[in-house]
Amino acid sequence: MTPVETEFVTWLLDRIPADPRLEVPPGDDAAVLRPPAMRRTVVTVDMLTEGVDFILGPDCPPRAVGHKAVAVSLSDLAAMGSRPEAVFVAVCLPQTGGDVIARGLLEGIQSITAEHGCTLAGGDTNSWDGPLVVSVTAIGSVPPGRAWRRDGAQPGDLLVVTGACGGSLLGRHLAVQPRCREAIFIESRFEVHAAIDVSDGLSLDLSRMMQASATGAVVRLANVPIHADARRMSLLPGDTKSPLDHALSDGEDFELILAMPPDAAHALMAAAGQAPLDLPITIIGEVTAEPGLIAEDVDGTRTALAPRGYVHAFNS
């Protein structure tokens, strides 16, 4: 390591608090975790790249990037019904200003890990002449056989959505609030057959869950929870999408879609508004045996619903 990198790593290690889950803490060649007794380990990885997932600037300081990078991985853990335990963060820093960026990243990372009770267990730093890249590996835990999956939805299940969707680019795409506490509460009290988080778009992610389950869904358009940001975006000059269109396709809402037996879904609805479920819980439709998504209007008219959202493009 260069003297500058050595100095930064020393500074970093001094600021990572000890955690009983780490038998060998950060600073060695690898960390050693103590798995919680009688729980299974859940692992997820996400990579964020400047220019695609964020643009550094006055409205997006490094602290916000650190928060988002960890939050989107914690959202994946929430979609599995798992409890966050540890995160590992690897960063590729711009050679110019990288030290300042790294310190800001750490502030955001430590804030959200503290909020959700997990530990920063290690990672890696590198520098290059390109944009900022942040990769987070998050570790969670679940009771044996209790992890939520995408492939368990059953015909007759009701589709439940936490929170509201659409318009995330007005700021919520940076201030991500992963539904970890809500997922832990739901997993411990209600039967969930399948789950996914809304990262790329409500309709697109719902279609992914239905495809994994070899099922389809009817979505009652009047029930789709539309965020106030979606309504604001639809009023911006040049915007051609309705608030409903934004809710169905914008993505980066990081809410949960759950397929649940009807009695469990209604019981969950009844629990909404009470800690830790102090957010809207909405039934937006039901799972069908026929594949594909169907939109149902207020008058009962049904039409095909095309999955829409964000998909990374590759040039041939």
| DSSP string over 71-85 | HHHHHHHHHTT-EEE
Strands 216-220 and 292-296: parallel
- The DSSP code for 36 is P
Q: Which residues of 119-156 are buried (b: 16+ CB within 10 A; e: fewer)?
A: bbbbbebebeeeebbbbbbbbbbbeeeebbbbebbeee
User: 288: which 2 tokens?
Assistant: 């069908």
pLDDT at 131: 96
Q: What are the residues facing 152 on neighbouring strands?
A: none
pLDDT at 59: 95
Burial class (CB in 10 A: 0-12, 13-18, 19+), 248: buried
pLDDT at 3: 52
DSSP assignments along 265-307, one per residue = HHHHHHHTTSTT--S-EEEEEEEESSSEEEEE-TTS-EEE---
User: 72: which 2 tokens?
Assistant: 């989107």
Q: How far apart are CA 247 and CA 211, in angstroms?
A: 21
Domain extent listing, the chain: 3-142, 158-304
Same fold, 3-142 and 158-304: no
43: left (phi over 0), alpha (psi -120 to 50) or beta: beta
- Counting every residue, how long is the chain? 316
Selected from 1.25.40.10, 3.40.50.2300, 3.40.630.30, 3.90.650.10, the CATH number assigned to the domain covering 158-304 reads 3.90.650.10
pLDDT at 11: 77
* Domain 3-142 -> CATH class: alpha beta
pLDDT (tens place) for every residue of the chain, 316 residues total: 555 567 777 777 778 788 889 899 888 889 999 989 999 999 999 999 999 999 999 999 999 999 999 999 999 999 999 999 999 999 999 999 999 999 999 999 999 999 999 999 999 999 999 999 999 999 999 999 999 999 999 999 999 999 999 999 999 999 999 999 999 999 999 999 999 999 999 999 999 999 999 999 999 999 999 999 999 999 999 999 999 999 999 999 999 999 999 999 999 999 998 888 999 999 999 999 999 999 999 999 999 999 999 877 666 6
Q: Are 201 and 310 in contact (CB under 8 A)?
A: yes
Q: What are the residues facing 142 on neighbouring strands?
A: 40
Q: How far apart are CA 93 and CA 96, in angstroms?
A: 8
